[in-house]
Amino acid sequence: MTDRSLAECYRIVAEAVNTCSVALPPIDASEVTESIGSFQDLGFDSLAFMEFCIAIHVETGMEISVAKLDELGSPNAVARYLSGMAA
């Protein structure tokens, strides 16, 4: 499905979370790997979900729907999804 490494996907997702301005201070890829919680824990609202989807689209060219985010539940799961591990 993709040739993107999991480490690269963690970086992309961390940047997308930071774009949404819900995480203060900004997070880095290692936090997506280990300690970050669910979107709910991060305080994502509908605008944050939109911004997250857009950031992923602009960075990867991949359209990911809000419903899919809801199903995946957390940035960590999205990174694994993007890398193809959990597709």
Partner 1 sequence: MFLDAIHRRVIDDPDGIAVRTQTRAISNAALWDEMTSLAAWLLRQGLVPGDVVGISIKDEHKHLLASLAAMLAGVPQIALPTHDPSEARTEIARRLRIAAVLAEGPDNSLKGFTTLAPDFEYRATTDDPGWDFSARPAGDVCLYAASSGTTGKAKIIPLTGAQLLHQSLTAHRLPERAVLYRPASIEFNNSKRHRLYSLASGGTNILLQAAPTDVAEICRRFGVTQLLVSVAQAKRLLDLKESDARLPEQTEIQLRGSPVDDEMRKAITTHITRRLVVGYGATEFGSIASALPEDHAGHPSTVGWPHRGVEMEIVDDDDRRIATGRIGRVRVHGAGMATHYYDDEQATASAFRGGWFYPGDVGHLGSGGDLRFDGRADDMMVLSSINIFPAEIERVAETLHGVKECAAFSIKSAGFGDIPLLAVVNDGSTTANEVLAEARNALGLRAPRRVFFVGSLPRNAEGKVVRSELRRLFEQRNGSRAVA
We find the least distance from the C-beta atom of residue 30 to partner 1, in angstroms, to be 20
Ramachandran bin of 84, using left for φ above 0, alpha for ψ from -120 to 50, beta for the remaining angles? left
> For the range 62-71, what are the long-range contacts, defined as Cβ-Cβ under 8 Å and sequence gap of 24 or more?
69/39
The residue (of 35 and 47) whose beta carbon lies closer to partner 1 is: 47
Site string for partner 1, 11-50 (x = CB under 8 A): --------x-------------------------xxx--x
Q: Based on the shown chain and the rule CB under 8 A, indicate whether residue 63 belongs to the binding site for partner 1.
A: yes
Contact with partner 1 (CB under 8 A): which of 65, 73, 85, 86? 65
DSSP for 13-75, written as a single string: HHHHHHHTT-SSSPP-HHHHHTT---TTTTT--HHHHHHHHHHHHHHHS----HHHHHHH-SH
86 part of the interface to partner 1, by CB under 8 A: no
Q: Write out the residues near partner 1 by the rule CB under 8 A.
A: 1-2, 4, 19, 45-47, 50, 53-55, 57-63, 65-68, 70, 82
